[in-house]
Amino acid sequence: MLTVLRTTWPLLLGILFLMVGNGMQGTLLGIRGAIEGITTTEMSVVMSAYFGGFLLGSRLVPDMIQKVGHVRVFAALASMISSVLILYAAYPHWIFWAAMRLGIGFCFSGVYITAESWLNAGARNETRGQALSAYMIVQMLGIIAAQVLMNIGDPAGYLLFVIPSVLVSLSFLPILLSRQPAPQFATIKRMSFARLFQVSPLGCIGMFLMGGVFSAIFGMASVWGSLRGLSVTEISAFVAAIYIGGLVLQYPVGWFSDHNDRRMIVMVMSFIGLVVSFATLYLQPGIWGLLTSAAIIGGVANPVYSLLLAYTNDFLDDSDMAAASAGLLFINGIGAITGPLITGWLMSRLGSEGFWVYIGVLLTLLTLYAGWRRMRRPAPTMDQNFAVIAPSATPIAIEAALENAGPDEPAKATP
């Protein structure tokens, strides 16, 4: 791991700055929106726009890279992110914010694709798995660090918008000045959704549902906290707890899934999440209870996302995994776009409790569907080991992670 850090630290440092900037803007807008009197429904549109832009970027940015190259695409998109982060405070109107979030989602998708391409190309076969693990850890740590920085300024002021803008600008330096040459970029082939659903109905339905869960957590947690009346410190701690839970549980859940039926683990993890969601809704705990709930929900959402990818790839040949993963990410993106919109609608009708109702209902549906799928066909042979993948990863990182996960032994025929 030390060798990996020594050779990839410029890229990882740049990614860390990017994640801090992204983590700050999501939390900050939810808090600032309440201060500006923007309604919950309007904020749900703002938050949903990011995931729409991210999905659009994942489809269009690869063509941009092929035409003008990694360096130009990265510099252009990162410059746009830095500008937008300051413009939020210049005109706090929900329509303007939604347009800016759409653009910044597109840009973040592009810079992630570019950075992940560089990281993947620069790692040797024997160190690529460690490099990708370091990348996923840095992503989580960046968002957690962003929540700490939320407490050094007044969200009603300008400083908290300047800090992420500066950090994103600084992310240019270690990445663009790296001695590592820009890699060749190959477009990932596509798989039809009909074929993908035929391969893994649970993968498709599960990724759609988890897209809604993840976008509610990432996009609406700060809006929920403001509606609930939490302080800035409490909201930032709540968001940080979500990612700490995901960081801690990814690896043990992954190890367990490589030795057991992944559908059972998806079902059990989702059941734990729904119990916690409805228990939080019913008990209305204090801040420490909320932090515990956040850590558990994060510990469920992140591993289940990776489990669904691994389960789908258990049915595929190596040549089809990248195409299937790209299709699953698109399905996840559709679910992510709808997540904040439905959550905002529920919160406008039910109050802050709508946040937990939405997450609990989605996890209930996933629990029931995973249990039903267990009765429909036998478990596949574990042809693909679990790969730790963050929900914000692009097809580039996922393809590399799946290549490195690989089977421990030659695969047996799938029943």
User: Read out DSSP for 358-385?
Assistant: HHHHHHHHHHHHHHHHHTTSPPPP--S-
Helix ranges (H only) for 229-261 are 232-257
Rounded to 5 degrees, φ, ψ at 107 are -70, -45
CA 188 to chain CA centroid, nearest Å: 20
For 111-120, what is each residue's pLDDT tens digit? 877 777 766 6
**342, part of any domain:** yes
**413, part of any domain:** no
**229, part of any domain:** yes
**Which of these, 224, 221, 231, 205, lies nearest to 371 by C-alpha position?**
205
Q: Are 260 and 243 in contact (CB under 8 A)?
A: no
- What is the chain's percent helix, strand, coil content, to nearest 5? 80, 0, 20
Cα dist from 61 to 77, 117, 156, whole Å = 10, 12, 34
- Report d(CA 200, CA 331) in Å as an integer: 13
Q: Tokens 């683990």 belong to which residue?
A: 265
The amino acid that residue 254 corresponds to is G
**Which of these, 160, 177, 141, lies nearest to 16 by C-alpha position?**
141
**Which of these, 311, 309, 307, 306, lies nearest to 379 by C-alpha position?**
311
DSSP label at residue 378: P
DSSP label at residue 150: G
User: What tokens were used for 280?
Assistant: 């939080």
**414, part of any domain:** no
Cα dist from 258 to 94, 255, 405, 407, whole Å = 45, 5, 11, 10
User: What tokens were used for 379?
Assistant: 């478990």
Q: Tokens 């759609």 belong to which residue?
A: 208
Total domains in the fold of the chain: 1
**412, part of any domain:** no
Rounded to two decimals, the pTM is 0.82
Q: Tokens 């660090």 belong to which residue?
A: 145
Q: Tokens 């210049």 belong to which residue?
A: 90
The amino acid that residue 21 corresponds to is G
Evaluated on CA atoms 232, 238, 239, 244, the torsion sign reads positive
**410, part of any domain:** no
Q: What is the pLDDT of residue 297?
A: 92
The amino acid that residue 35 corresponds to is I
Query: Reduced to 3 states, what is the DSSP secondary structure of residue 226?
Result: helix
**361, part of any domain:** yes
**415, part of any domain:** no
Q: Tokens 């790296």 belong to which residue?
A: 178
Within the chain, which residues score under 70 in pLDDT? 1-8, 118-133, 175-176, 178-190, 254-255, 257-258, 317-322, 378-415
Q: What is the pLDDT of residue 125?
A: 53
User: What tokens were used for 199?
Assistant: 């391969």
Q: Are 221 and 293 in contact (CB under 8 A)?
A: no
Q: What is the pLDDT of residue 77?
A: 87
User: What tokens were used for 350?
Assistant: 């039910």
Q: Are 46 and 157 in contact (CB under 8 A)?
A: no
Q: What is the pLDDT of residue 379?
A: 65
- Report d(CA 362, CA 199) in Å as an integer: 22
The CATH number of residue 292's host domain is 1.20.1250.20
**What is the CB neighbour count within 10 angstroms for residue 166?**
14
Q: Which domain range does residue 182 map to?
A: 2-405
**Which of these, 150, 75, 146, 141, lies nearest to 107 by C-alpha position?**
75
Cα dist from 283 to 111, 146, 217, 227, 276, whole Å = 42, 29, 20, 17, 10
Q: What is the pLDDT of residue 304?
A: 84
Q: Tokens 């897209």 belong to which residue?
A: 211
Per the document, the length of the chain is: 415
**Residue 76 C-beta-side C-alpha neighbours within 13 Å:** 12
